[in-house]
A and B are shown apart, each in its own frame.
Chain A
Amino acid sequence: MKRLVLAMLALSLVLVGCTGGSGSDAFVYGNDADIKNIAPVLLTNVVSSVVSYQIHEPLVKYEGNYELQPALATEWSTSEDGMTWTFKLRPDVKWHDGEAFTSEDVKYTYELVLDPATKSIRRQNFMIIEEIDASDPLTVVFHLNEPHGPFLDKMTQIPIMAEHHTPSVGLDSYNMNPLGTGPFVFKEWVPDDHVTLEANPNYWGGKPAINTLVFKPIPEPAVRAMALSKGEIDYASGLTAEDFANLEKSDKVEAFSIPQLRFAYLGQNNRYWLFQDKKVRQAMAYAVDKQTIIDDVLKGAARPAVGSYAAINEAWHNPNVKAFDHNPDLAKQLLAEAGWTPGTDGVLVNNQGQRFSFSVLIASGNQQMNNQAVLLQRWFSEVGIEMKLEFMDTAVMYDRLDARDYEAMMLSMGVSPEPDQYNSWHSSAIDNGFNDWCYSNARVDELLEQGRRESDPAARKVIYDEVQEIMAEDVAAIWLYHPNTLSALSTEFTGMTEEPAGQYQYLYQLKAR
């Protein structure tokens, strides 16, 4: 018996030796979740997009600091009236099965998105398309039903699917048999365990240096960080600030803290009676110390926000808007001007005896949100405002937001580099859209309508500069910060970019050291 145990131990040590390290030509990418559906018309979460964009490619893509770059389209132009967009397609591009890529595939893909039976959440974005002309195999022409400034941005959202392949596979089982033109070819998917891709030897951009690309879902962030430091995976995405700080000290990994366009905010319901007075909203903005949240809660991995447009979006960000730097005295003064006087329990009251007290909805299970809520609560109480915390499941929170049944909420929102934020801030989007803040300003409405019809970038810049000025002055929401994404790469590999537009589209450039 003893001998058997010893033999087992010895064997296990040998086997452990074999499993350590993942081999130099295989790259293992650790994610927080498994893919859902990787069919480009059905993408809903980040992980599915990351995997799908290795296999499929869109017509145009963002690179570097959000510059639009050619992908499957080499050049594009729009007509004088902005109603027609023409794309020249890259010649000699082959699908992974050897068939030629043509304009019919582009037409097919966009018609698939528009088909209600597809159940695509992006269908609405493409309703402006009237007709797609694919009469020339290497030219595709989109006829729109109105001029649309953000059209090119929308062309980055849906990678192209193969017309000769997709219908026979079907969208339901597309995950088992996807086909694209991208740098990697699909090999296998074992749900919740891994997705394996292999280098496409015929890729038009050159064969990738790594032969095998494996995506592994590891839901627990701490375990993901440990798997990276042990060499079980070569890259870990979505790290927490604490794990990131530990990994930064290791000489076995290179840590990346990359700014994002996403903005985090405390959103007051602008229809709620407490927040009707602009002075009150400005006072609340002054009461908050953004830099302390960034330093203490996010360990420095964020930049202060002055609006929904991040400073790294250089083409569109307006730096000359009103920034509300921490100033509790000014906050108190503004609240006094708005008619709020300290009550017996330290909370402000108005002349009708109503207390300045509101509750904020927060998704439960997120330590970072929890910590920043407690900080905000303290700063507000310093100026006499009572904020109650209401923690709940994300699904429940979304229900409350949809019903506009809340006083305030705390969330963050991902935005595209395109400046059109019509669906978020136009007053028509309060009842029919995503204006969760119930923000309404007649001038902003007018500008947002103009902006999406305008195709000239210089004219659009003027429009969106004014939108940002007004929204900052109005305190449409209490802007907090733009968080960085935290990730780390094993030093056995090089070639990962630090550019904001995203690391995942450069995976084909990765090389073993």
Chain B
Amino acid sequence: MLKYIVKRVLLAIPLILGISLIVFGLMHLAPGDPVRMLAGREAPAEVVAAIRAEWGFDKPFFSQYLLWLGRAIRLDFGKSIATNLPVSFLIQSRLPYTLKLNFWATLLGLTIAFPLGVMAAAKRGTWVDYCSSALALVGMSMPSFWLSMVLIIVVSVKLDLLPTSGTGSWLNYILPATALGFSWAAGLMRMIRTSVLEVLKEDYVRTARAKGLRERAVLVRHALRNALIPIITVLGTWLAFMVVGTVIVETIFAWPGLGRLLTTALLQRDFFLVQAIILMISVAVVAANLLVDLMYAWVDPRVRLE
């Protein structure tokens, strides 16, 4: 087991290096110059050129990349071009907000998806199934920026129950966490329903029913546990989904998180900041996938990790 983990971690290193090189290359290939974005249309060309040289953008591509890599290995991610502030400070100040928001969104998503998904499967073809399917359809087809605006207009402005945006109290979490968690829950709910339905056809479920187990025990102890494998695979894409979601939701709700930081950094072509955030996200996604693989073994003792 430990050997397996060490092997996976070692394999992740070239993967992450590759990602960093691709992102670095894309940022350099993409049209748009961070210094011009910062200086604006009005700045004379020689000012822009001088500032570019100060940042080292006049060097060849690979020496720029190696310089960056050399510092990144020592966890020095340089400075943001737009603000002149250390990248590590900008990320550290946002990370807790994004983690907290994602935690509540995930919790909300799981509490919606699991009961509804299992119930829809258990009561297949009844109004419970139709209602949850309709809900899932709405959740999956509704773009999160639209859901966010509707939540603000209805819950915050019309009903005057919650603040529109920003941070401050726990009330500020409710709307963005709902906007983020709901559309994720919708997809997950469908997945759970299909997976549980699949398992309910199995012989051992019939056996469990035949020996007189209550339906609830059949569902939770026999069906759900075995239905978990495909569901865990879906959970592996959870992090990627949340990253995409936060980019939009954080901007609308004026949430001081990483998604919003990434949006502004990309629009500004803030190289070093984008580079560091993407690197961090890719490390997290790689780690999440490793975790999912480990969970297979835990959920299903037949899976052996070698």
Contact = CB atoms under 8 A, between A and B. Distances in A.
B46 interface: yes
Contact of A232 (B82, B86, B93, B164): B164
A124 B267 CA distance: 26
A198 to B, nearest CB: 19
Interface in A200-236: 216-220, 222-223, 226-227, 229-230, 232
A223 B261 contact: no
B38 A218 contact: no
Contact of A219 (B41, B44, B162, B254): B254
A324 B163 CA distance: 49
Interface stretch (B68-76, B124-132, B148-156, B231-239): B148-156
A436 interface: yes
B165 A423 contact: no
A171 interface: yes
A173 B84 CA distance: 8
B43 interface: yes
A25 interface: no
Contact of A190 (B32, B46, B51, B256): B256
Interface string B6-47: 000000000000000000000000111100111111111111
B161 to A, nearest CB: 6
A395 interface: yes
Given A36-B82, A395-B33, A399-B32, A423 B44 contact: yes
Contacts of A15: 169-171
Of B40, B55, B255, B257, most A-chain CB atoms within 10 Å = B40
Contacts of A190: 93, 256
B190 interface: no
A193 B37 contact: no
A12 B93 CA distance: 27
A506 interface: no
Contact of B44 (A192, A216, A400, A433): A433
Contacts of B51: 119, 121
A232 B163 contact: yes
A227 B83 contact: no
A218 B166 contact: yes
Contacts of B251: 219-220
Contacts of B37: 394-395, 398
A420 interface: no
B164 A223 contact: yes
Interface in A414-448: 414, 423-424, 429, 432-434, 436
Interface string B245-286: 000000111111100110010011100000000000000000
Contact of B32 (A37, A116, A226, A398): A398
B164 A37 contact: no
Contacts of B93: 190-192
Contacts of B255: 192
B41 A226 contact: no
B301 interface: no
Contact of B260 (A119, A219, A232, A436): A219
B84 A216 contact: no
A396 interface: yes
A220 B252 contact: yes
B267 A395 contact: yes
Contact of A230 (B36, B97, B160): B160
Given A192-B261, A223-B254, A398 B41 contact: yes
B222 interface: no
A172 B44 contact: no
A140 B171 CA distance: 54
Interface string A110-149: 0000001101010110000000000000000000000000
Contacts, number: 168
A1 interface: no
A43 to B, nearest CB: 11
B157 interface: yes
Nearest to B166: A216
A123 B164 contact: no
A4 interface: no
B166 A121 contact: no
Contacts of A34: 264
A119 B156 CA distance: 44
A432 B157 CA distance: 51
Nearest to A431: B45
Interface string A374-412: 000000000000000000011110111110000000010
A150 B63 CA distance: 43
A170 to B, nearest CB: 10
Contacts of A497: none
Interface in B204-224: none
B168 interface: yes
A318 interface: no
A44 interface: yes
Given A119-B51, A218-B254, A226 B44 contact: no
Contacts of A223: 149, 152, 164-165, 252-254
Contacts of B252: 219-220, 223
Contacts of A172: 79, 84-86
10 contacts: A119-B54, A121-B51, A171-B84, A223-B252, A227-B163, A230-B156, A232-B165, A393-B32, A394-B32, A402-B33
Interface of A: 12-13, 15-16, 19, 33-34, 36-37, 39, 42, 44, 116-117, 119, 121, 123-124, 171-173, 175, 190-194, 216-220, 222-223, 226-227, 229-230, 232, 393-396, 398-402, 411, 413-414, 423-424, 429, 432-434, 436
Interface of B: 30-33, 36-47, 50-51, 54-55, 79, 82-86, 90, 93-94, 97, 149, 152-153, 156-157, 160-171, 251-257, 260-261, 264, 267-269
8 nearest CB pairs, A to B: A395-B32, A192-B256, A193-B256, A121-B39, A218-B254, A396-B31, A399-B31, A36-B83
Given A432-B44, A432-B45, 20 more contacts: A19-B168, A34-B264, A36-B82, A36-B84, A117-B54, A172-B79, A172-B85, A175-B83, A191-B93, A191-B261, A192-B94, A193-B167, A220-B254, A226-B156, A227-B165, A393-B32, A395-B37, A398-B33, A413-B41, A429-B44
